[in-house]
Amino acid sequence: MNLWLIPLFPLLGFLINGIWGRRFSKALVNLFAVGSVVASFAYVLWVLSALYPLTTAHTETYFTWIHSGSLQIGFDLTVDRLTAIMLLIITGVGLLIHIYSAGYMEHEGGYHRFFSFLNLFMFFMLLLVLASNFLLLFVGWEGVGLCSYLLIGFYFGEDFANNAGTKAFVVNRIGDFGFLLGMLLIVVHFGTLDFATIASAVASMPVEASAGVLTAITLLLFVGATGKSAQIPLFVWLPDAMAGPTPVSALIHAATMVTAGVYMIARAAFLYGHTPITLHVVALIGLFTAVMAATIGMTQNDIKRVYAYSTVSQLGYMFLGIGVGAYSDGIFHVMTHAFFKALLFLGAGSIIHGIGGEQDLRHMGGLRKYMPITFITLLAASLAISGFPGFSGFFSKDAILSAAYDYAPWMYWVGVITAGITAFYVFRAFFLAFFGDYRGHHHPHESPWVMTLPLIVLAVFSVGGGFLNVPNWLAPMFPNVEHGSPLLMWISAAVSILGIVIAYYIYILKPGTAESIAAATGPVYKLIDHKYYVDEIYGALIVRPVEAFSRTVLWKGADIAAIDGGVDGLGHRLRGIGAIFRQMQSGSIRNYATWVVLGSLLVLFVLGLAGGGR
């Protein structure tokens, strides 16, 4: 099948644009950048149709990558039903975002650089989902992190963008700490990193004997997932990552890369299935992240930050789904989220593009008159993320929530309230942007067709994507899970609509209510508005102490004062000997050689005496 061609196309696009793009015209850059993704998408379609119905995984082995002692790790790719979904999301949504970017980046510098990085990202992301062992997955994992770093810092003349990029990379590295140790633990216990081999080994081993080590492995891997997928406690990088161009936020920080953690756990379901403790932790972390991020989302004024927190929150739902055992519902939500969240970001990008780069909701308003297509498509996306009945988010989110009810009813209720909050803040942003009067100082205009066309396509999928029966397609891969009664779905839908209505009341019917609520809730509002002070706490507890300790104690204290001071002090005290040394250092090679030989002979002689006495 030559699966390697799938990631190869974007890699070629990266190489061509990366090496020669500077001299290319924009059209030529587009040709290679977009063309490579088209080729990849088409090839994915061909492969999947050829392999349909893909009841068993299709693996291709290329070469041995690492071979040391008993450890052997191959460069092998696999396609199964889970990979198929991810491939379609990545190449499909990726293609739309590439097309959109051609319009969005039109007037930006570094056009070829942007597209070469975007192509490189596609390469690593495809590698991540095609990998048939943990180490190759980790290659993609780190690679997408690299591209994320490069693209967050795309405007590298700006300090905030560079800080955000470095923060993203380092925070992700902290997550990788867990991922690496998890992999090492797998190596020690299974002697391999190959998914299929581990799966069969786990299946045939007595679970009681291995529960401890499997729990350790899965928890460590999950630490990696919290980094990449921005969960508590490592979510802090994602909101800052919005410093990158908006298509990047849509592709990397909403639709694909940040879901890698969810994908990884679903991929390793053969391990997680044996570790109820870890799954419980995953569910809790997911749920708490969903609540926390949703509450922060209510207070943000930067439209991209609102959507960034909503991404964190929605990722929390996905982990909740995985944690309660509903893997296929989690992946279902990955897919619908890819549609509507990519659309939300692209729509936000269209707004930003149309009003001269402004991102602050307070300087928008009344835009529905100026950008009708953006308005309609964003409405579809907002309804989808709110879980409005019939829209895609309704099906996936409520599948997760009803599975959660079966697992623990209180999780369902917390999730439902969060869904209400989600509907509220998404529509808050929507109303602030499109209703009322325009509060900015530009001349708003609708975006060109290269940008609106992807919006329309994504809107179609945001509306109808829920009817693609992903859970059914994935059913053979994962253990079956019970769902609660259908009534639960309607309860959560009602709560969501309530959220929309409240937003309508506060921001359309009674403008000014928001301020009075903020004033009335004083300290709580302030706490949420400052994002629970998480960044400040990390800074005070970890970053600054480490830096201060390194500077004062280690470098100035130990290195310079203690060790060097000791050595130099010794030198001063032995000044007499130093004088002799100075004479030895006459600068003549012959003298040096003499000294070395003489010294050696002396030592030889002394030892000869000593040794001879034995």
Q: Which stretch binds another protein (CB under 8 A): 97-105, 354-362, 381-389, 589-597?
A: 589-597
- Residues 172 and 227 sit within 8 Å (Cβ to Cβ): yes
Nearer to another protein, 66 or 524 (CB): 66
Burial group, residue 279, by CB count within 10 angstroms (0-12, 13-18, 19+): buried
How far apart are alpha carbons 203 and 164 in whole angstroms? 43
Hey, is 519 helix, strand or coil? helix
How far apart are alpha carbons 212 and 219 in whole angstroms? 11
Instruction: Tell me whether the omega of the peptide bond preceding residue 10 falls within 30 degrees of 0, making it cis.
Output: no
Smallest gap from residue 192 Cβ to another protein (A): 4
Nearer to another protein, 193 or 373 (CB): 193
Q: Which stretch binds another protein (CB under 8 A): 95-103, 337-345, 396-404, 584-592?
A: 584-592
Cα separation values, 250 from 247, 257, 483, Å: 5, 10, 31
Nearer to another protein, 53 or 587 (CB): 587
Cα separation values, 315 from 16, 124, 276, 283, 341, Å: 34, 21, 20, 11, 11
Here the tokens at position 492 are 């959560």
Smallest gap from residue 547 Cβ to another protein (A): 6
Smallest gap from residue 249 Cβ to another protein (A): 20
Q: What are phi and psi of 360, to 5 degrees?
A: -85, 125
Nearer to another protein, 50 or 593 (CB): 593
**Interface of this chain with another protein, residues 430 to 459, rule: CB under 8 A:** none
Measured between its terminal Cα atoms, the distance across the chain in Å is 74
Determine the residue type at 286: G
Is residue 46 involved in binding another protein (CB under 8 A)? no
**Interface of this chain with another protein, residues 138 to 167, rule: CB under 8 A:** 138-139, 142-143, 146, 149, 153, 156-159, 162-163, 165-166
**Interface of this chain with another protein, residues 353 to 412, rule: CB under 8 A:** none
How big is the site for another protein, counted in residues (CB under 8 A)?
86
The pairing of strands 71-79 and 58-68 is: antiparallel
Among 521, 545, 555, 598, contact with another protein (rule: CB under 8 A): 555
Nearer to another protein, 169 or 412 (CB): 169
**Interface of this chain with another protein, residues 85 to 144, rule: CB under 8 A:** 135, 138-139, 142-143
**Interface of this chain with another protein, residues 199 to 238, rule: CB under 8 A:** 201, 204-205, 209-214, 216
Cα separation values, 546 from 227, 549, 552, 554, Å: 20, 5, 10, 10
For tokens 């964190």, name the residue.
312
Smallest gap from residue 201 Cβ to another protein (A): 5
**Interface of this chain with another protein, residues 53 to 72, rule: CB under 8 A:** 61, 63-72
Burial group, residue 154, by CB count within 10 angstroms (0-12, 13-18, 19+): buried
Among 32, 98, 105, 194, contact with another protein (rule: CB under 8 A): 194
Nearer to another protein, 93 or 193 (CB): 193
Q: Which stretch binds another protein (CB under 8 A): 86-94, 187-195, 377-385, 524-532?
A: 187-195
Helices (H), 298-408: 303-323, 327-354, 372-386, 392-407
How far apart are alpha carbons 426 and 409 in whole angstroms? 26
Q: How many residues in total does the chain contain?
A: 614
Hey, is 494 helix, strand or coil? helix
Is residue 32 involved in binding another protein (CB under 8 A)? no
Is residue 579 involved in binding another protein (CB under 8 A)? no
Smallest gap from residue 151 Cβ to another protein (A): 13
Smallest gap from residue 282 Cβ to another protein (A): 20
Is residue 544 involved in binding another protein (CB under 8 A)? no
Q: What is the CA radius of gyration of the chain?
A: 29
Smallest gap from residue 607 Cβ to another protein (A): 5
Nearer to another protein, 94 or 153 (CB): 153
**Interface of this chain with another protein, residues 453 to 492, rule: CB under 8 A:** none
Smallest gap from residue 71 Cβ to another protein (A): 6
Q: How many CB atoms lie within 10 A of CB 587?
A: 6
Q: Which stretch binds another protein (CB under 8 A): 230-238, 269-277, 309-317, 597-605?
A: 597-605
Among 277, 524, 540, 603, contact with another protein (rule: CB under 8 A): 603
For tokens 């890699």, name the residue.
11
Is residue 550 involved in binding another protein (CB under 8 A)? yes
Nearer to another protein, 494 or 596 (CB): 596
H-helix or E-strand containing 493? helix 487-504
Nearer to another protein, 155 or 435 (CB): 155
Among 549, 569, 573, 594, contact with another protein (rule: CB under 8 A): 549
Among 276, 372, 479, 599, contact with another protein (rule: CB under 8 A): 599
Is residue 7 involved in binding another protein (CB under 8 A)? no
The DSSP line for 59-77 is: EEEEEEEEEETTEEEEEEE
Is residue 523 involved in binding another protein (CB under 8 A)? no
Smallest gap from residue 189 Cβ to another protein (A): 5
How far apart are alpha carbons 339 and 349 in whole angstroms? 15
- Residues 402 and 489 sit within 8 Å (Cβ to Cβ): yes
